Structure formats: structure tokens, C-alpha cells
Amino acid sequence: MTTDESESRPPVRQPRPAALGAWVALLAAIALLSRPGALGADPYELVAAGDGFKHPVQLTHAGDGSGRTFVVEQEGRVLVMRDGRPAETFLDLRSKVYHGGECGLLSIAFHPKFRENGRCFVNYTSAERGLDSIVSELTVPKGGQKAEPASEREILRLAQPYPNHNGGMQLFGPDGFLYIGFGDGGAGGDPHGHGQNLGSLLGKMLRIDVDTRAPGLAYGIPADNPFVGTPGARPEIWAYGLRNPWRFSFDPATGTLWCADVGQNRFEEIDVIERGKNYGWNVMEGAHCFKPESGCNTQGLTLPAKEYGRKKGVCVTGGHVYRGKAVPDLAGAYIYGDFGSGRIWSLRLSGGWVKEDRELMHSKKPISSFGTDEAGELYVVTYEGRVWQLKKSSE
């Protein structure tokens, strides 16, 4: 989830949470000093909702009517949060997960019929054979409350050339297919050109069918995937030209797929992902030429719905279109933030154009993820171990 400089690094690089942490602390100190305390209190606040997690990177629910909220720890556990604390272990894959930096257990997705079939899907980094991203399925035994580690069935394995930009988010769309985001493979600048290479799963949004199996695959290919039948292209691809789609989500009301794509050195971006589109990387970073630096060929590329530069943040974290009840004035707005600066914004589009673009707060927290509970309320997950609920300020 971190941004990085442009040099290549050999595997396995340890990331920079410490450096980022110091940077965030410095930013916080500067912001406190320069802020006239009494003036312009934020209209929104983050209310403490959970604590005691180790490097949490996702918060989600199972959609099974149980009301459970799950928190994914990068080291390899999925915990049920109750009364603001880690209450039960839903899944422990720590013995299989290679973690650190941008590696680790990066997400869990519950099958749309999880309540009936107990199937869930994880995305994690394994060091078992070099450095691989693994998508696998696990099952909760009938009547059980936990995913059984022995039930693990590997669905997809993708060799990672570098330890960063693993993407790692996956979730089911309203169409029942599993969407998986993979980054460009890492290093800096996409040295192997994965983003634009339709023969690679790196730098892509994938769409697969976990309820069927195509010949030779552990999953099915939806017939209307855009590159089915295109010579040299992987049929799993739904959209391409992504750098590191760390977090994305579907608007539960409209089905729109919102994705935050982490930038290189200059621009962070928000994309609305649509079938078969090319989101530009590494020809473009945001709405600007990257390779070459000027005069790049932008034909056929889809520009971000929104971008921001280094004055606002360094590493975008995708959020959700708010469909909860606690903050009515945010209904229908896409809420997202930045891992480095802790700023949180709302964005509304109309006909593809930005209609509203508002900073809700400058939290100064290392936002690793946003998540929703079963009621649609929005939470902010911060990397140092906490969960917060976004609410209207109480005053």
C-alpha cells in the first residue's frame, strides 16, 4: 500500500512502515502547530470503534445476517471484532503467509451465498516458492464458526517479481463473480511493462467465476469478459493499466466499481472501473504522461475520475460509496483517504465529471483501509491497530 521510489529492488525488500510512521508523526506535529484550534472544527469525526489489532488491512462483513464484523491482520489472521476488541479467530493462516511491507494476508471475500455454503476466499503472499500471490478458497464446516485451514484449495497463483504492488483486494461483484486486483508486480515505474501487457495478470483487475471451472483452471471464465478470444490476452482480465489497486469497492446501490490506484511519485488516482478499459499505467500516472514524460500516446486510455498530488498525500486508500444511515449527508458519496497524510475526502460524480470533491477531515492517521459493516456503516482502519467509525461531529 505504500508508494515507493523509482529504483528497482531485489526481493525481498522490507517495507517502510517505520519510515512512514515517522513521516506521519512529523506531519501530525506540523498540522497541530499550524492549526488554529478553535476555528473550523471538522464537521465529521472518527469515533474509536476498535483496538488491539496487529497491522489491520481490511474490515468487512460476511453478508450472512450474523452481524459479524471481520478484521484482517496482515500477518495472516482474520478476527471477529466484538465490542471493539478482537473476539474470535475466524481464520489463522499465519504459518502460510509471508508478511511485511506490502506482503501478507491482504483480503478476504465471502461468497454471496456464504450463509449456505460457508465458502470464503483469501488473497495472500506466500514465500513458499519464491514470492507468489495466492488466491485460495476455504470453507466453514456446516454449523461451524471458523474457516477450516485444512480446507484450503488454491485457485490462482501468480509469481510476483518484486515484493511491492501486490494489490490483493478481492470481492464479489453484484454479478456474483469474484473481482481480484493485482498490482504491476512492483519495483518502480513498472519495469517489465505489465500494466499494458494483456498477456500478464499483473497490473489488472480480474473477474473470475468461482462456481464453475474452465478446462485446466480452478475457476471459470465469465463468457462476457472483454478479452475472451483475444489472442495473447488472458481471459481473466476485466480492466487493465493499473499500478497498485490496493483497495476497491462496489457501490451497493448502483454496482459502480470504484478503485483507488496508488501512484508512483506524483499523482494518486481514483478510477471508475469499467469493462475492458485501459487505465493508463505505465504510459500515464494519473492524468499525466509517465512514459515518455511528455507527448505520450493517450489514445484509448481512460483518465482518472479524480487525482491528487503530493500536497494532499502520498498513497491513496480506496473507500466506499456511503450507503449507511448514521451520516445522511454523505449518502451516495464515495469516501476515500490517504495512508500517508490521513486526509479523508468525499467525491461525487455526475456523468463522469466531478460534482463534489470535499475534504472531510485531516485525520493524520495511517489509513490502511475503509470498510463497512452489515448495516452499511463506514469504518476507517488504521495500520497501527485501530478501527474508527466515521460520524458527524457531535457538537
Q: Residues in the site for Ca ion, rule: CB under 5 A?
A: 279-280
Query: Which of 13, 17, 23 has its CA nearest to residue 2?
Result: 17
Cell numbers describing residue 161 = 517479481
Choice between 69 and 282, CB closer to Ca ion: 282
Output the smallest distance, CB 230 to Ca ion, in A: 21
CA distances from 379 to 25, 52, 60, 115, 386 (A): 22, 15, 9, 23, 10
| Least distance CB 282 / Ca ion (angstroms) | 9
The residue whose grid cell reads 451516495 is 332
When the beta carbons of 240 and 279 are compared against Ca ion, the nearer one is: 279
Residue at 119: amino acid letter? R
Residues 87 and 81 sit within 8 Å (Cβ to Cβ) = yes
Residue 139 cell numbers, joined: 470453507
CA 184 → CA 39, 60, 164, 256, 268, distances in Å?
43, 25, 9, 23, 15
Distance CA 127, CA 97 (A): 7
Distance in angstroms between the alpha carbons of the first and the last residue of the chain = 34
Task: Tell me how far, at minimum, the Cβ of 314 lies from Ca ion, in Å.
Answer: 16
- Residue 238 contacts residue 207 (beta carbons within 8 Å): yes
Give the contacts of 276 (CB within 8 A, at least 6 positions apart): 226, 227, 238, 239
Shortest CB 288 distance to Ca ion, Å: 10
**Which residue's C-beta sits nearest to Ca ion?**
280
Q: Tell me how far, at minimum, the Cβ of 102 lies from Ca ion, in Å.
A: 19
Based on CB atoms, which residue is closest to Ca ion, 250 or 279? 279
Q: How far is the CB of 236 from Ca ion (least distance, A)?
A: 20
Min CB(304)–Ca ion separation in Å: 6
Angle in degrees, CA 87, 121, 51, rounded to 5? 25
Nearer to Ca ion, 277 or 323 (CB): 277
Residue with Cβ nearer Ca ion (114 or 279): 279
Least Å distance, CB 307 to Ca ion, is 8
> What are the distances in angstroms from CA 25 to CA 30, 50, 343, 364?
9, 21, 14, 8
3-state SS, one letter per residue, for 25-41: HHHHHHHHHHCCCCCCC
Distance CA 301, CA 279 (A): 6
CB of 284 to Ca ion, least distance (A): 6
CB nearer to Ca ion: pick between 227 and 279: 279
